[in-house]
């Protein structure tokens, strides 16, 4: 006899039942011999327990009677040697979990909903000046197309080199009074003597360099209006008359200048504007709503987008009406 035949052992049939994974749980494969030995149950029990009542041989606890799943009932039933079938007194873990989830849902439904604090941009803190918070909530990032308002924001952006936003906003009424409500045609007529009289509490409202720049910029605005029809058309043409939405999530992502601001700065300098560097121009773009730099978590981000769409549609309608209006001879 060869070595291979000696090593081989005859394959014996396996009489033990093996667990088979079915769609309704684990089942045991029963041979014909075991089926003959197993006592027969009441014919009513062999049918689906969901449609027929169980036989008197079943002792089912009240906790398990609410289960409608046939698979859970079959897996929880134990068959004894005497033919009686009983169910364990322990609750099904799935039912326990469902009961806990249901009770938590009820508690959440009856509990009052307390609104959380309003989320704003990172530069607004609980200690911020109320006038600064109001400026953020109502003005900053809102599209502006009025020439006087745009010129006012340009002056304020230039003043940021000497003051902070809260300080400028507290002096806004003084600025408007001294600069003739920021009318470029009136400011362009300011003389040196008039400039030196622009004081608050005995001090110049801005440095002499900034004051002279404001007068020169007012003259440049008048020239731009002759070429483009308005200072607003000149500013908004750089973004095709539609605000830019950056959608920053974190404050550290918001830049102090951008390539667009650098391009606008160079164009304005060529037209005679002064003190309009890229940083100044980017602050101007943010304040005038030409750029929406509200953080995406800030409640004003979506509101400014809605206001922008409404304002853009209104502006486009007005533009179409102007194009189709008859020319006066």
Average pLDDT over residues 220-228: 96
Q: Residue 304 annotated as binding?
A: no
DSSP state letters, 194-241: HHHT-EETTEESS-HHHHHHHHHHHHHHHHHHHHHSSHHHHHHGGGTT
**Which residues lie below 8 Å from residue 28, measured CB to CB, with a gap of 6+?**
17, 18, 19, 20
pLDDT digits (tens, 9 = 90+) for 226-285: 999 999 999 999 999 999 988 899 989 999 999 999 999 999 999 999 999 999 999 999
Residue 4 pLDDT > 50: no
pLDDT of the residue at 45: 45
| DSSP secondary structure code for residue 10 in this structure | P
Other C-beta atoms closer than 10 Å to the C-beta of 39 total: 10
Average pLDDT over residues 156-174: 95
Residue 18 pLDDT > 70: no
Task: For residues 135 and 294, give the distance between their C-alpha atoms in angstroms, rounded to a whole number.
Answer: 13
Average pLDDT over residues 24-51: 48
Name the least confident of 126-130, 273-277, 307-311: 307-311
pLDDT digits (tens, 9 = 90+) for 61-83: 444 444 444 444 444 444 444 44
Domains of the chain: 130-320 (1.10.340.30)
3-state secondary structure 115-140: CCCCCCCCCCCCCCCHHHHHHHHHCC
**Which residues lie below 8 Å from residue 153, measured CB to CB, with a gap of 6+?**
144, 284, 287, 288
pLDDT of the residue at 40: 52
Residue whose tokens read 């039942």? 17
Is-contact 156 193, C-beta < 8 A?
Answer: no
Residue 323 pLDDT > 60: no
Q: Residue 241 annotated as binding?
A: no
**Which residues lie below 8 Å from residue 83, measured CB to CB, with a gap of 6+?**
39, 41, 57
Name the least confident of 16-30, 149-163, 191-205, 278-292: 16-30
Other C-beta atoms closer than 10 Å to the C-beta of 203 total: 7
Q: Residue 235 annotated as binding?
A: no
Both structure tokens of 275: 């003190």
Other C-beta atoms closer than 10 Å to the C-beta of 95 total: 15
Residue 100 pLDDT > 70: no
For the chain, percent of residues with pLDDT exceeding 90: 52
Residue 154 pLDDT > 60: yes
Helices 278-287 and 259-270: crossing angle, nearest 10°?
110
pLDDT of the residue at 307: 72
pLDDT of the residue at 274: 96
Task: For residues 233 and 102, give the distance between their C-alpha atoms in angstroms, rounded to a whole number.
Answer: 60
Chain length of the chain = 329
Residue 91 pLDDT > 60: no
Mean pLDDT of the chain: 75
């Amino acid at each position: 006899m060869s070595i291979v035949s000696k090593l081989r052992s005859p394959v014996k049939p396996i009489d033990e039942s093996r667990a088979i994974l079915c769609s309704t749980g684990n089942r045991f494969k029963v041979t014909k011999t075991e089926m003959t030995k197993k006592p027969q149950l009441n014919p009513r029990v062999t049918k689906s327990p969901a449609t027929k009542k169980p036989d008197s041989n079943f002792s089912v606890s009240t906790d398990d009677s609410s289960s409608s799943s046939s698979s859970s009932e079959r897996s929880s039933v134990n068959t004894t040697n005497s033919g009686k079938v009983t169910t364990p007194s322990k609750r099904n873990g799935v039912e326990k979990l469902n009961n806990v989830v249901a009770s938590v849902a009820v508690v959440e439904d009856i509990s009052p909903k307390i609104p959380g604090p309003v989320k704003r941009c990172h530069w607004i803190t609980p200690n911020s000046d109320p006038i600064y918070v109001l400026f953020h909530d109502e003005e900053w990032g809102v599209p502006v197309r009025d020439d006087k308002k745009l010129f006012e924001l340009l002056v304020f952006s230039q003043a940021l080199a000497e003051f902070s936003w809260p300080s400028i906003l507290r002096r806004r009424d003084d600025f408007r009074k001294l600069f003739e409500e920021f009318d470029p045609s009136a400011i362009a007529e300011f003389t040196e003597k008039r400039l030196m009289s622009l004081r608050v509490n005995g001090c110049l409202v801005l440095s002499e360099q900034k004051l002279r720049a404001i007068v020169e910029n007012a003259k440049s605005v008048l020239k731009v209006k002759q070429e483009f029809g308005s200072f607003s058309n000149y500013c908004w043409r750089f973004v095709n008359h539609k605000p830019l939405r950056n959608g920053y999530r974190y404050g550290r992502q918001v830049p102090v200048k951008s390539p667009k601001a650098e391009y606008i700065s160079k164009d304005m300098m060529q037209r005679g504007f002064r003190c309009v560097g890229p940083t100044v121009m980017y602050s101007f773009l943010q304040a005038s709503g030409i750029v929406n730099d509200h953080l995406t978590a800030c409640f004003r981000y979506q509101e400014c987008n809605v206001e922008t769409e409404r304002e853009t549609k209104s502006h486009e309608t007005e533009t179409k009406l102007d194009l189709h209006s008859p020319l006066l001879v």
